[in-house]
Amino acid sequence: MEERLAMDKEFLHFEKINRQTWQNLHRKSTPPLSEEELNSIKSFNDLISLQDVTDIYLPLTHLIQIYKKAKEDLAFSKGIFLQQESKKQPFMIGISGSVAVGKSTTSRLLQILLSRTFSDSTVELVTTDGFLYPNATLIEQNILNRKGFPESYDMELLLDFLNQLKNGQSYQIPVYSHEIYDIVPDQKQTIQAADFIIVEGINVFQNPQNDRLYMTDFFDFSIYVDAEVANIESWYIDRFKKLLDRAKDDPNNYYHRFTKQPEEEVLAFAHQVWESINLLNLKDYIEPTRNRAELILHKSANHEIDEIYLKR
Residues within the annotated binding site for ATP? 97-104
CA–CA distance from 301 to each of 218, 231, 232, 298, 304 (Å)?
A: 32, 6, 9, 10, 7
Strands (E), 201-282: 221-227
Identify whether the C-beta of residue 97 lies closer than 8 Å to the C-beta of residue 103. yes
* Residue 282 backbone dihedrals phi, psi, to 5 degrees: -60, -50
CA–CA distance from 126 to each of 77, 141, 189 (Å)?
A: 31, 26, 9
CA angle 281, 39, 298 (to 5 degrees): 40
Q: Which of helix, strand or coil describes residue 124?
A: strand
The annotation places the binding site at 97-104
Q: Of 198, 8, 217, nearest to 112 (Cα)?
A: 198
Identify whether the C-beta of residue 32 lies closer than 8 Å to the C-beta of residue 112. yes
Positive or negative torsion for Cα 256, 261, 264, 270: negative
| Helix or strand run (H / E) with residue 186 | strand 182-191
* Number of residues that make up the chain: 312
The whole-angstrom separation of Cα 260 and Cα 248 is 8
- Which residues, other chains included, contact 28 with Cβ-Cβ below 8 Å and sequence gap of 6+? 54
**β-strand 196-200 against 221-227: which pairing, if any?**
unpaired
The whole-angstrom separation of Cα 190 and Cα 197 is 13
Identify whether the C-beta of residue 31 lies closer than 8 Å to the C-beta of residue 58. yes
